[in-house]
Amino acid sequence: MSFFSATLLMFLVFDPAGNLIPCIALLKAVPQQRRTRIIAREMLIALLILVICMFGGRMLLQALQLDQPALGIAGGIVLFLIALRMIFPSRHGVFGEMNGGEPFIVPLATPLLAGPSAVATIILMMTRAPDRWPVWLGAVCTAWAVSTVILLCSAPISRLIGSRLLAALERLMGMLLTIMAAQMFLNGVREFMRHTGT
């Protein structure tokens, strides 16, 4: 996997277009001058979570005695479920409504951005090619930076393109992510069959 494809994959997993509306809804009761600080704080927390998973996830797999094919298959399933949520969004949303106050860590930092699909994708990339960690780190940081800019501009972007186009973009990204999820699943099955000699 190249730097560009890894960056594109992480960008699709982060799903900043799909997170625009939830982000706006979660912060609608927060004063405008604090929204930028909250989004920046939550994005930094999400990046910290992802970096910790990148360098510590492999040791966790070894401690739990999990194989790489299992991670690939599980990651593909999780990506597929996330993609289905993007293509067929629920009217009630995924996280529901908050009872008041401003969000802290949950649900903006995780699971909206640093969710199970992002963690599984990062651990899988590190497990398959740990010597290429600078490429994976660069891909994660690049996709994170672009996602941060998009979320920081969430309010004006939503007013500019409208809710219908936002929904269309989310479904398009969901379709692309479905293809990548299927490929990840097939790679996991292929590696399992290779390891078992079938």
Range 3-196 has CATH code 1.20.1250: yes
Look at the block and give the residue holding tokens 């797999």. 61
Provide the pLDDT for residue 148.
94
Is pLDDT at 21 greater than 60 in this prediction? yes
Is pLDDT at 90 greater than 70 in this prediction? no
Answer for the pair 122, 58: CB distance below 8 angstroms, yes or no: no
Provide the pLDDT for residue 180.
79
Q: Which residues on neighbouring strands pair with residue 104, listed in sequence order?
A: 106
The answer, as to whether pTM is greater than 0.75, is no
Please give the C-alpha separations between residue 20 and each of 26, 173, 196, in angstroms, as whole numbers. Answer: 10, 13, 44
Structure tokens at 128: 């398959």
Question: Which of 29-43, 85-99, 169-183 shows the highest mean pLDDT?
Answer: 29-43
Provide the pLDDT for residue 94.
45
Structure tokens at 84: 């289905």
Query: How is the chain split into domains, by residue range?
Result: 3-196
Structure tokens at 160: 């500019």
Please give the C-alpha separations between residue 160 and each of 154, 163, 165, in angstroms, as whole numbers. Answer: 10, 9, 10
Is pLDDT at 46 greater than 90 in this prediction? yes
